[in-house]
Structure 1
């Protein structure tokens, strides 16, 4: 009791100094805390202080999202989500700084759909998007399960940075095979990985074609082939020909078998892989709930269709003599077209049109 009395007496005697010191102390704590939060939530804090994060930071910095801070996507919306994210981040930073050996923690980030929809909600209900030559509807993919799997934003928009050469983005050469005029519209963080799209569209499909059919993603290529032909995809499609009539190797790697041993790269306990054969449970747990990208389990799927050999002669064997290439080798090598020597009648139906030497086209 005597101690309490002394404290009260001291506080009564020095009210003003105590009040001033308290205000200064609380103000200092507030300013320092705010500054600390500002520093630790700056993308460069993790990107420059943790070398294992540097590739991700560099990718973000050169991406179309470089005006959005990392915490805007990686922290759940709301005060509680922000606090949880801050605590988890500080724990990771502490573990990284206090680990003597090379940090072996598995890099993993789960971005919730509601974070994406904070800025991009209108995209779900907008009309189909013509992106990189592909007709895509967010509504059909995000709001309803596809092939029994509830996909999320990051099912397609990957956070992949390290290994991008293995799991290519939408800007990879596989798209350029049919769409030579595409432009690199987005690189780095949150790109669409074509392998993720192809894993779903081409998996367990007989006939080596897409589960939804080729026209569901893209129509006939508009570009005319430049090998001295006027080949038009549209006219052939209108006649009822399917893509597999002319093309082969529509997809590769789509029907790989995911080995059970691959599960142990993340799960150390055998109990965690007991339901290895349960398709619904496995995909709900990994894809829908925990946002695990398809390429983490499945192999890289490619869609680079090739043209069948001797394709034109299959239907047009009577148009050319059998030895036409041998007898016209010189003309072909120097870049001449049929109309340089021949009247452009039936030739112009397939080949580049023009005016024959010294003659007008009829």
Structure 2
């Protein structure tokens, strides 16, 4: 009698199933009652449902996270916060207007990107709780600026000396080497956004602090790298008032620039200890005030704190036009003419 002859097997008055035959999971009952589901199959069905639900939640959460990641990386998302609107407006008219915000503000690499994302979440929390500052702080890593396709170090070195406004020369190679600058500078040491309407422009106050701090005496001025490292000697004759002269003649005679160009530098660039108290109140940190190497390593190299946060401002500018009155008396240009006559013997 085969395994399929269950009814014939039962007709002989025997119960169960023929020997060697598997018992079906669902047994039909002759009394018309509903079939019974085995516990094993019921457990498998519940596990399948739970697995489908969990997988669906993961897929939906992943899609939502990817969408939020994309939206939060757009300038439109940055502009949604009212304190960021002036900064976004400045970015729109800057030289970086074609560069997405995250291209600079997110360092290369997934780990650093996640770290910055977490910092951004904390900023959102501060905005939601009303504990944000009206002057947001953003730190742009050198790796973002110097990456390939942007401002690679090799490209800056190949560019050599560049000439900017009013004939001022600049060479990145001299500023990327610690031996030349004493301190390890960052890209944002010079390219900063001190005021809201200037998006990562060259901050001249940084140049003046580095080049003139501690170089000005009562009657002398010896800037770092000298005057001619930034300013070329003017060519040809120049007329100042009734005097005509040639700079090249004075250069050949080793006449110092400041012999004629008086008071072109204002301020000493001091770093009063009281300014430390605006950020620090720990005695152990305040005691390190005289450790210049440590202070510049932390504030310049690591945190890119703007120089004017610690130093008083140094100004470097040309004298006013001939005959223009000044608060201190005669025009500086007229004073320079008198000095020129003394130096040249004319």
Change in 2 beyond 3 A, CA 1:310/1:265 = closer
Per the TM alignment, residue 88 of structure 1 is displaced from its structure 2 partner at its CA by 0.9
Per the TM alignment, residue 281 of structure 1 is displaced from its structure 2 partner at its CA by 0.7
Query: Are positions 1:194 and 2:195 aligned together?
Result: no
Structure 1 equivalent of residue 124 of structure 2 = 93
Structure 2 equivalent of residue 252 of structure 1 = 266
Structure 1 equivalent of residue 87 of structure 2 = 56
Aligned positions of 1:336-355 closer than 5 A: none
Per the TM alignment, residue 195 of structure 1 is displaced from its structure 2 partner at its CA by 0.7
SS at match of 2:296: helix
Determine which of 137, 141, 153 is the counterpart of 1:108: 137
Structure 2 equivalent of residue 148 of structure 1 = 182
Alignment partners' CA distance in 1, 2:144 and 2:210 = 24
Alignment partners' CA distance in 2, 1:39 and 1:226 = 60
Query: Are positions 1:204 and 2:214 aligned together?
Result: yes
Per the TM alignment, residue 256 of structure 1 is displaced from its structure 2 partner at its CA by 3.6
Change in 2 beyond 3 A, CA 1:123/1:303 = farther
Residue segments in structure 2 that go unaligned for 5+ positions in a row: 1-37, 320-331
Query: Are positions 1:65 and 2:90 aligned together?
Result: no
Structure 1 equivalent of residue 315 of structure 2 = 302
Change in 2 beyond 3 A, CA 1:4/1:298 = farther
Determine which of 161, 168, 175 is the counterpart of 1:134: 168
Q: Is the contact between residue 208 and residue 249 of structure 1 (CA under 8 Å) also seen in structure 2?
A: no
Alignment partners' CA distance in 2, 1:116 and 1:262 = 30
Deviations 1:284-303 (A, max 9, x none): 11101111121221122110
Per the TM alignment, residue 146 of structure 1 is displaced from its structure 2 partner at its CA by 4.0
Q: CA RMSD in A?
A: 3.1
Query: Are positions 1:9 and 2:41 aligned together?
Result: no
Structure 2 equivalent of residue 220 of structure 1 = 233
Determine which of 54, 73, 77 is the counterpart of 1:45: 77
Aligned length: 285
Determine which of 146, 157, 170 is the counterpart of 1:125: 157
Determine which of 64, 74, 88 is the counterpart of 1:32: 64
Aligned positions of 1:314-333 closer than 5 A: none
Change in 2 beyond 3 A, CA 1:315/1:28 = closer
Aligned positions of 1:157-172 closer than 5 A: 157-162=191-196
TM-score, structure 2 as length reference: 0.72
Residue segments in structure 1 that go unaligned for 5+ positions in a row: 165-187, 318-349, 351-362
Bigger radius of gyration: 2
Deviations 1:322-362 (A, max 9, x none): xxxxxxxxxxxxxxxxxxxxxxxxxxxx9xxxxxxxxxxxx
Q: Is the contact between residue 123 and residue 138 of structure 1 (CA under 8 Å) also seen in structure 2?
A: no
Higher relative contact order (CA 8 A, sep 6+): 1
Q: Is the contact between residue 96 and residue 103 of structure 1 (CA under 8 Å) also seen in structure 2?
A: yes
Change in 2 beyond 3 A, CA 1:282/1:310 = closer
Alignment partners' CA distance in 1, 2:233 and 2:40 = 88
Per the TM alignment, residue 309 of structure 1 is displaced from its structure 2 partner at its CA by 3.3
SS at match of 1:129: strand
Alignment partners' CA distance in 1, 2:185 and 2:257 = 28
Alignment partners' CA distance in 2, 1:194 and 1:290 = 19
Q: Is the contact between residue 83 and residue 134 of structure 2 (CA under 8 Å) also seen in structure 1?
A: no
Alignment partners' CA distance in 2, 1:129 and 1:158 = 19
Alignment partners' CA distance in 1, 2:96 and 2:172 = 19
Q: Is the contact between residue 75 and residue 82 of structure 1 (CA under 8 Å) also seen in structure 2?
A: yes
Moved more, 117-126 or 216-225: 216-225
Change in 2 beyond 3 A, CA 1:239/1:39 = same
